[in-house]
Structure 1
């Protein structure tokens, strides 16, 4: 029976047991066997709907975060093109790391690979359907954007101040809360931020004796920047994240060794 599907296996054993029972109990047992087989078939036919419903439930639990990440990772470039590369990566990451383990636990492992695109589409619809507060227009000017980020940190209880236009050593904003110093580099970009910004703020954290370091941008981040941030402990944030940012002392490496 190892080569058969679970549904075929269930039908086989119901038929065997029901057939044996019908030899003794006659028509009632035969009718019960037929009803049981029909129920198994209907349950199997309903499997696609149950799979989609499960994926929707999982996505809806994270709808606010998905909607925010969609907003953060989509932008319009200098040529007027809508760039969604960052969001497409984020969406696939969510399906792979969050959805797949849960559908596997619920017995839908065999459905996951052939319906991967369907899962992505469901996540997209959930993210689009969730309403976010209207996005506040951010300053176009870089210096004004630094002040804007400092103000948003202030809303979260940080004592934040811009460092000024020169001599900042890669640090645009210094913020302190609960004995933790945060070093921030702000990037008001029309394209994803690269790993150079991560290198700079990691070095700035050493220079300014910061326990936390972050690059803040209105746009997304390149895969190289995300990889380097994971190694160095640098936070990659959208300015919307600043109003809820809490101080933490990050374990492990706190900065880069520059020049080696």
Structure 2
């Protein structure tokens, strides 16, 4: 990759050309060269502001997804501490895979390393700029109540959803149907990320209930092992916020 030109590089040739032209055309040519140099300097000095505006624009474009991922990847532990480890990894991933390549392509590559903390700060601000759908509403503390809560969210999205009996559910807390598609869901109201045991259970439930889709829903995110297993077994890992907009075959799906 060629080295980005410095301010000295940019003004060198206008100064040289202006000096040479002044020998033939007099002070007017030198004045024009000086004006060009001033314009180049002002443009260069405003580059930092343009860089920040570009990062903000990229973060705002994805703020709904960033807000959801922040909720999915954060949780409060039994001691009342907010654990953000998963979200910090997700934030770095977004900055590296989405923001940095765009900045490189637009000629800001030389600023990325020096302003990395600023990029992360802007992404963080975008992630907290969107209110949670259930903000202000108390999330059910009881596991069975949380299952009913998830079923209600699916009903809102157009599914016919019902909770199963605790005995004999074979790993499915909620069974939902829409447009000929059957979905089985494990609902986990946890104070820590959900592990791969829940993924194994819902895979078994998908087979038992002859379902087309299987999902694990939680308020607290998922461990790396759970994510790896879910990707290998085609299981959706969702925050409960995503249920109210979970489409059927024509409505799309997402991880």
In structure 1, distance between residues paired with 2:175 and 2:182 = 7
CA 1:29 to 1:170, structure 2 compared with 1: closer, same or farther past 3 Å?
same
- Do residues 113 (structure 1) and 113 (structure 2) align? yes
Partner of 1:201: 202
Tell me which moved more, 138-147 or 185-194. Answer: 138-147
- How far apart are 1:3 and its partner, in Å? 6.1
Partner of 1:180: 181
Encode CA deviations 1:58-81: one digit per residue, 9 max, x unaligned.
Answer: 111222332233233322111111
Tell me which moved more, 179-188 or 38-47. Answer: 38-47
In structure 2, distance between residues paired with 1:230 and 1:60 = 28
In structure 1, distance between residues paired with 2:204 and 2:116 = 40
- Do residues 237 (structure 1) and 233 (structure 2) align? no
- How far apart are 1:4 and its partner, in Å? 7.0
Q: 4+ residue stretches of structure 1 with deviation over 4 A? A: none
After the TM superposition, which residues 36-75 of structure 1 pair with which residues of structure 2 at under 5 Å, given as runs? 36-75=36-75
Q: How many residues align?
A: 248
After the TM superposition, which residues 121-140 of structure 1 pair with which residues of structure 2 at under 5 Å, given as runs? 121-133=121-133, 134-140=135-141
In structure 2, distance between residues paired with 1:233 and 1:31 = 68
In structure 2, distance between residues paired with 1:19 and 1:28 = 11
Task: With the length of structure 2 as denominator, give the TM-score of the two structures.
Answer: 0.89
CA 1:247 to 1:143, structure 2 compared with 1: closer, same or farther past 3 Å?
same
- How far apart are 1:144 and its partner, in Å? 1.6
Q: Is the 8 A contact 1:214 1:236 kept in 2?
A: yes
In structure 2, distance between residues paired with 1:62 and 1:210 = 32
Which structure 2 segments of 5+ residues have no match?
251-255
Encode CA deviations 1:87-130: one digit per residue, 9 max, x unaligned.
Answer: 21221122122212222222112212232221111111222233
Q: Is the 8 A contact 1:139 1:148 kept in 2?
A: yes
- How far apart are 1:148 and its partner, in Å? 1.3
- Do residues 31 (structure 1) and 11 (structure 2) align? no
Q: Is the 8 A contact 1:212 1:248 kept in 2?
A: no
- How far apart are 1:38 and its partner, in Å? 2.1
Specify the SS of the correspondent of 1:129: coil
Specify the SS of the correspondent of 1:236: strand
Q: Is the 8 A contact 2:184 2:211 kept in 1?
A: yes
Encode CA deviations 1:151-192: one digit per residue, 9 max, x unaligned.
Answer: 110110001111210222211111111111111111010001
Q: Is the 8 A contact 2:174 2:184 kept in 1?
A: yes
- How far apart are 1:21 and its partner, in Å? 2.4
CA 1:248 to 1:19, structure 2 compared with 1: closer, same or farther past 3 Å?
farther
Partner of 1:253: none
CA 1:116 to 1:202, structure 2 compared with 1: closer, same or farther past 3 Å?
farther
Tell me which moved more, 207-216 or 71-80. Answer: 71-80
- How far apart are 1:6 and its partner, in Å? 4.9
CA 1:3 to 1:176, structure 2 compared with 1: closer, same or farther past 3 Å?
closer
